[in-house]
Amino acid sequence: MKLVGLSDVSKVFASGVQALGGASLDIAAGEFLSVLGPSGCGKSTLLRLIAGLSEPSSGMIEWPQGRPDIGFVFQEPTLMPWTTALGNVALPLTLRGEAKSEREARAAEALAGVGLKGFEKSYPRELSGGMKMRVSIARALVTAPKLLLMDEPFAALDEITRRKLNTDLLDLWQRTPFTAIFVTHSVFESVFLSQRIAVMSARPGRVRSELAIPAPYPRTEAFGTSAEYAALCRLASAQLSEAMAA
């Protein structure tokens, strides 16, 4: 069932830069989709358009079942330094005017869900980069959104932390029913995480090709070292080179 469809979406900024040039993409409810492309190809713009943070210059964005609740994870943790992990995670509920006890209970639950039980009262500066990103994910999931948008969320983290977060993100996705759109410039990350990869061309960005990743979940370290994974990475890599050359 289609959750959201983009048809021939373009975006030209006031500066005259054309970020997207006729991007078309359908996203099915419940799937894990990666958007793979070189930096500056308009991946982030695509995500912002889907989130409704910006309007397309032309083209259509359709929501056949209506616009759902959306969670957004930025490239940086984007936490408010003046409040605790719990306060940060509770923010979406605060903005909706939910009662204090209710939002604290739900925020604590979301924090536990990303493995940060016991860090409710910690301030962002007391947390490591990976933990801050976990808080950011918990905040995006606290409203139990149908759609989770992630804009290169782990790009600034070290390899070991990134691997752990990748596995934990898949865990969360299997436990909770949400659709995930994950923007990345890493071939390995996109193959490891997703069911489908949309490969974008250089600016003005459009979706050049799509690649299905048929491997079953749960995907573990073993999948990351398998021959199947290596072959899929080669395939995705080739498509990315093709898209960039086009």
Partner 1 sequence: MSARFVAPVLMGLFMLALWEGLVRAMAIPPYILPGPILVAQTLVSDWGTLWPALLVTLSITLQALVAAVVVGVLLALLFSLSRWIELSLFPYAIILQVTPIVAIAPLIIAWVDDVSTSLLICAWLVAFFPILSNTVLGLRSVDRNLLDLFDLYGASRLRTLIELRLPAALPYFLGGLRISGGLALIGAVVAEFVAGSGGRASGLAYRILESGYQLKIPRMFAALVLISVAGIAIYLLLSLLSHLLLRRWHESALSEE
Listed in sequence order, the residues at least 6 apart from 131 whose beta carbon sits closer than 8 Å to its beta carbon are: 116, 119
Alpha-carbon gap, residue 94 to 128, rounded angstroms: 25
The tokens for 18 are 């054309």
Q: Is 124 in the site for partner 1 (CB under 8 A)?
A: yes
Out of 20, 25, 50, 72, which residue is the one contacting partner 1 (CB under 8 A)?
72
Q: Is 146 in the site for partner 1 (CB under 8 A)?
A: no
Tell me the H-state helices in the chain.
43-51, 85-95, 100-113, 129-141, 159-175, 187-193, 221-224, 227-245
Looking at 70-78, 179-187, 188-196, 213-221, which segment touches partner 1 (CB under 8 A)?
Answer: 70-78
Looking at 77-85, 162-170, 187-195, 228-236, which segment touches partner 1 (CB under 8 A)?
Answer: 77-85
Q: Is 195 in the site for partner 1 (CB under 8 A)?
A: no
Alpha-carbon gap, residue 225 to 221, rounded angstroms: 7
Using the minimum distance from each CB to partner 1, give the nearer residue, 69 or 242. Answer: 69
Closest CA to 184 of 35, 84, 59: 35
Q: Is 155 in the site for partner 1 (CB under 8 A)?
A: no
Q: Is 144 in the site for partner 1 (CB under 8 A)?
A: no
Q: Which DSSP helix (H) or strand (E) runs through 12?
A: strand 2-12
Using the minimum distance from each CB to partner 1, give the nearer residue, 17 or 80. Answer: 80
Q: Is 76 in the site for partner 1 (CB under 8 A)?
A: yes
Q: Is the dihedral of CA 34, 40, 44, 49 positive or negative?
A: negative
Q: Is 95 in the site for partner 1 (CB under 8 A)?
A: yes
Number of residues that bind partner 1 (CB under 8 A): 21
Looking at 88-96, 157-165, 183-191, 236-244, which segment touches partner 1 (CB under 8 A)?
Answer: 88-96
